[in-house]
Structure 1
Amino acid sequence: MAAILDTRSPFGTYRAERLVRAAWRLADRHDLSKSLRRRIRALVSWVFSGPYDLEAEGLKFRIYPGENYDDRKILAKGRLPERDEHKLLEPYLGNGKLFVDIGANIGSYSIFAAQKGAEVLAVEANPHTAAKLKFNIRANGLENVKVVETAVGPKEDTLPLWLEPSNYGFATLVKDLTTGEWAGNWSPTFVDVKPLTAITDDEMLTRIDVLKVDVEGFEDRVLLPFLRHAERSLWPRVILLETNCRPYWTEDCLSELANRAYKVTGQTNDNMVFELTA
């Protein structure tokens, strides 16, 4: 059962009671088989779809656990997802820094970076998720985050963005990704696509301190055209690149980053951090 999207009620309207938290902790137990966990999650989603208003590590989120992985993690664990990635990025954030978040989802990176003092450009292609992102930014009283609603790719275009209702944060422009391991109830919605160079021109950016790219197998088509066409002065000092969908890339980002003097300075199960060394 789909949750009702509410971006108008004030934060704190929806409380997550103990039973809700316990149910979602059960649905998130990784000692259970994947198939059993999926069945439990479907039942819990039906009964406790949300929304719920929660604070995690001092940040406020209105979450919809039935339809987003990050939301489920916040509710089940009481903390932000991608904790290891945040630790890797934190030394590069702070006052006067610019963080560009491609694939911003509900804002777990953007709001974290903004709280650290960085100016943030949050780019999100899915209109449904972008509405949640904007609410979470307002709930935290942040004025240093700007949201751009577009997909990012090699050229101006209109493309199908594939959505799966149990995890809207896993929206993808790569149709091949919707089968096999990630097979589900996928459906397309058409979205505008812009190159990152066009976005940086529109926003009159003169530098990027940290760039995060997490777009479910489309990372190469976001990053490589930018590095090939942008002025070198605009190359990010630090890049956080999601690599868990690397088999769906059409070009290898890692070799090109190495050729452009980027060095790996951190790695997690799903992401790699690169720093420009020359």
Structure 2
Amino acid sequence: MSEAMTLLDTRSPFGTYKAERMVRAAWRLADRHDLSKSLRKRIRALVARFFRGPYDLEADGLKFRIYPGENYDDRKILAKGRLPEREEHRLIEPYLGPGKVFVDVGANIGSYSVFAAGLGADVLSVEANPQTADKLSFNVRANDLKNVRIVNTAVGPREDTMPLWLEPSNCGFATLVKDLTTGEWAGDWSPTFVKVVPLTVLADDENLGRIDVLKVDVEGFEDRVLLPFLRHAERSLWPRVILLETNCRPYWSEDCLPELASRGYKVTGQTNDNMIFELEN
């Protein structure tokens, strides 16, 4: 199936698209890390021609409609049969539950948002890519979650309109940082213009009185989301816990880590791609 023929279906009921054994086996092969990176990439491109998706499946007890031909998280869910961020979930789970507030900036298809909402937290999911936001909305509905609000916008230091760079093989890796689209992550990137609002404005618009856990995963733009918020928001609105993606740290304009430390945040956990910070009382 060609890329142009990929079906975006957010209307038919969950369970419409079965991931048969051959589909799962093909994507497990494409995810084999004992193969070289270049070989894995060629296999992935071949598998994506025939098994792009969508497929409906459950992972860790949660329901997702996935499109593995066009998103990394979807490929991982299908290949491994579980959510790709189990370790991060374990680290933030103690801070989630009924009465807690989780803000997910860069929500992608919802692997964090759906997880947090399933624990009973009130969730604000923020996703800049309109098509990905539609997929996220479907996954929220598939899990019958009433405690998730979705906002289709980008977050940044000021109100603006900016190009969001998209790569068709990994729509979850959309970025506002053009420099990231070359070198290691070079690909078939193209821009779409999106609205950008500061997190302080978003918090005010959504009447947030507190944030228990803030996750920021926006491919190299994390500093421009987080630091303006900490500098302008009332201290009472500072998150108790911040999950910050750091694997694109070289693309930050400012290093978040020293400022987080100076404002009383200490590192309480770390994974390959993320760091967890907790605000000391």
The TM-score normalised by the length of structure 2 is 0.98
Q: What's 1:260 paired with?
A: 263
In the alignment, structure 1 residue 24 sits paired with structure 2 residue 27: yes
Say which SS state the counterpart of residue 120 (structure 1) adopts.
strand
Q: What's 1:43 paired with?
A: 46
One-letter code aligned to 1:243: T
Q: What's 1:57 paired with?
A: 60
Quote the offset at 1:183 in angstroms.
0.3
Quote the offset at 1:61 in angstroms.
0.2
Q: What's 1:246 paired with?
A: 249
Q: What's 2:108 paired with?
A: 105
- Partners of 1:12 and 1:158 lie apart in 2 by 37
Note the 1:75-86 alignment, pairs <5 A. Answer: 75-86=78-89
In the alignment, structure 1 residue 5 sits paired with structure 2 residue 14: no
Question: Deviation per CA, 1:53-95, whole angstroms, max 9, x where unpaired?
Answer: 0000110000000000000000000000111100000000001
- Partners of 1:97 and 1:81 lie apart in 2 by 23
Quote the offset at 1:149 in angstroms.
0.5
Q: What's 1:202 paired with?
A: 205
One-letter code aligned to 1:158: T
Q: What's 2:123 paired with?
A: 120
- Partners of 1:100 and 1:171 lie apart in 2 by 19
- Partners of 1:194 and 1:200 lie apart in 2 by 10
Q: Which runs of 5+ in 2 are unaligned?
A: none
Quote the offset at 1:248 in angstroms.
0.1
In the alignment, structure 1 residue 153 sits paired with structure 2 residue 117: no
One-letter code aligned to 1:73: K
Quote the offset at 1:52 in angstroms.
0.2
One-letter code aligned to 1:126: N
Question: Deviation per CA, 1:90-141, whole angstroms, max 9, x where unpaired?
Answer: 0000010000000000000000000011000000000010000000000000
- Partners of 1:134 and 1:28 lie apart in 2 by 27
Q: What's 2:278 paired with?
A: 275
One-letter code aligned to 1:237: R
Question: Residue 143 of structure 2: which of 134, 140, 164 is its match?
Answer: 140
- Partners of 1:226 and 1:25 lie apart in 2 by 40
Say which SS state the counterpart of residue 160 (structure 1) adopts.
strand
Quote the offset at 1:22 in angstroms.
0.2
Give the percent of matched residue pairs that are identical in Structure 1 and Structure 2.
Answer: 82
Say which SS state the counterpart of residue 112 (structure 2) adopts.
helix
Quote the offset at 1:228 in angstroms.
0.2
The TM-score normalised by the length of structure 1 is 1.00
Taking only aligned residues, the RMSD between alpha carbons, in angstroms, comes to: 0.4
Q: What's 1:213 paired with?
A: 216
- Count of aligned pairs: 278
Q: What's 1:174 paired with?
A: 177
4+ runs deviating over 6 angstroms: none
